[in-house]
Amino acid sequence: MLKLYGRGVAENFVLDRSRLFTLTKNPHLPIGERADKAFIVEGSLAPEGYGAYLTFESVEEVVQQNQLELPEEMSYIDESDIARISPSGRISVIFRKKSPNNTFLLTERCNHYCLMCSQPPKDHDDSWLMEEAMEALELIPKDTVNIGYTGGEPTLYGDQFLELIAKTKQVLPNTAIDVLTNGRTFKDSSFAKRYAEIDHHDCLLGIPIYSDDPAQHDYVVQANGAFDETVQGILNLKRFNQKVEIRVVIHKQTIDRLVQTCEFIARNLIFVDHVALMGLEMMGFTRANLDKLWIDPYEYKNTLSKALEVLNSYGIKTSIYNHQLCVVNLDVKPNYVKSISDWKNEYVEECDSCIKKNECGGFFSSSKKYRYSDHIKAFR
């Protein structure tokens, strides 16, 4: 797991406020372009005029203004990455050019309180995150294939959320967007219409539905009335031809009706662009609710196959994420995705001798640490 944030040892560090910097290793930038860049020092070269200088313990001492010595685990940073650096020397890498899935957290506020939430909600004003995302858009390389927006619940920003999408379209016309949202704000059809009017060429809203039983869905997300509003939101979005993905996290509270839920999707929401069936992550609330949530994926693999069969026979594009190959049936392989964000995934000892290791997504770091299947077995 990559360490995305840390604290550097500051040397002559003078910064008036937290700022976003594009990182660079290029010592030959025109003088006029150096002030908003942070230079990654690799040798003894540290040309003048850069906004900040990032060094590592292994590097010889150089004397410059705004030098920050970072822990070795952060030496992955590279050209075109974007980081927020604060006057106290805290650094947070918010964009990595090499990453295939850069995601921006827009808020920790949420109107759900999911039992398995990996980003537990906090009810405070964190609109600076939205402002920062808007600012970062100017710095993100134009050839970026896609970025993600998550929360909390991003649409709680209302029109500001729409402005963000519109600005993303304008500033990054070749970049696709993935948004994670519960979709409820779109139950207001005028909001859905305004969203549609932005006419983004490739924005996918990933919306969870955890059961065809409204009581069960509302229980998982801990919000009464959530199911009806989420479905209404999806219907509105589709009325305006917007791209929607349905996400189902599989755990003890969603497994019993997983097949029926997929049948519900097939009969009522067949027009969705994609369905994601996802394994449980051990972060956030999951550990606190483990007794209610944990079921060994090996125990539910046949149900997973049946659920997938429903979606496949209706011709709905479906992917299975966040499972290890040894805990699912072979019949799901066509839909299996070697997922897990590149900064989160790992393998266990048993995997060392597995011949399918490079086809397998491995584990969340959190899963490896706290709980994973008892049936991990190398393929030979």
x/- contact string, 10-49, with another protein (CB under 8 A)? ----------------------------------------
Specify the residue, 127 or 224, whose C-beta has the smaller distance to another protein.
224
d(CA 24, CA 53): 10
Least separation, in Å, of the C-beta of 109 and another protein? 15
Question: Counting contacts by CB under 8 A, is residue 215 touching another protein?
Answer: yes
Binding residue for another protein, selected from 78, 135, 228, 299, defined by CB under 8 A: 228
Interface map 139-168 toward another protein (x if CB under 8 A):
------------------------------
Site for another protein in 234-253 (CB under 8 A): 235-236, 239
The whole-angstrom separation of Cα 114 and Cα 124 is 18
3 state DSSP class of 166? helix
Cα–Cα distance between 230 and 348 in angstroms, integer?
A: 38
CA distances from 257 to 38, 217, 248, 329 (A): 51, 10, 11, 19
The piece of 81-89, 91-99, 157-165, 229-237 that touches another protein (CB under 8 A) is 229-237
- Binding to another protein (CB under 8 A): which residues in 259-288? 260, 264, 267-268, 270, 288
**Cα 13 to Cα 47, 59, 73, 92, 319, distances in angstroms:** 16, 17, 21, 16, 47
- What's 336's DSSP letter? B
> Which residue stretch of 224-232, 296-304, 362-370, 371-379 sits at the interface with another protein (rule: CB under 8 A)?
224-232
Q: State which residue, 314 or 343, has the beta carbon closest to another protein.
A: 314
Q: Which residues of 362-375 are buried (b: 16+ CB within 10 A; e: fewer)?
A: bbbbbbbeebbbee
Q: Which region, judged by CB under 8 A, interacts with another protein, from 41-49, 83-91, 226-234, 327-335?
A: 226-234
Distance (Å, whole) CA 263 – CA 170 = 39
**CA of 73: how far to CAs of 4, 85, 209, 249, 294, in Å?**
9, 17, 38, 31, 32
CB of 42 to another protein, least distance (A): 48
CB of residue 114 to another protein, shortest distance in Å: 10
Whichever of 259 and 360 has its CB closer to another protein, that residue is 259
Minimum gap (Å) between residue 208 Cβ and another protein = 16
Alpha helices for 222-344 (secondary structure H): 226-239, 252-255, 258-268, 285-288, 290-293, 301-313
**Which of these ranges, 17-25, 170-178, 209-217, 367-375, lies near another protein under the rule CB under 8 A?**
209-217
CA-to-CA distance for 339 and 334, rounded, in angstroms?
A: 14
- Is residue 118 involved in binding another protein (CB under 8 A)? no
Contact flag: residue 104 with another protein (CB under 8 A): no
The candidate with the shortest Cα–Cα distance to 303, out of 348, 346, 251, is 251
Site residues for another protein, window 306-335 (CB under 8 A)? Answer: 306, 309-310, 313-315
What end-to-end distance do the CA atoms of the chain give, in Å? 27
Q: Is the dihedral of CA 62, 66, 69, 71 positive or negative?
A: negative
Q: Which is nearer to another protein, 178 or 212 (CB)?
A: 212
CB atoms within 10 A of CB 113: 13
Residue 65 makes contact with another protein by CB under 8 A? no
Q: What residues line the site for another protein (CB under 8 A)?
A: 113, 115, 187-189, 212-216, 218-219, 222, 224, 227-228, 231-232, 235-236, 239, 257, 260, 264, 267-268, 270, 288-289, 306, 309-310, 313-315
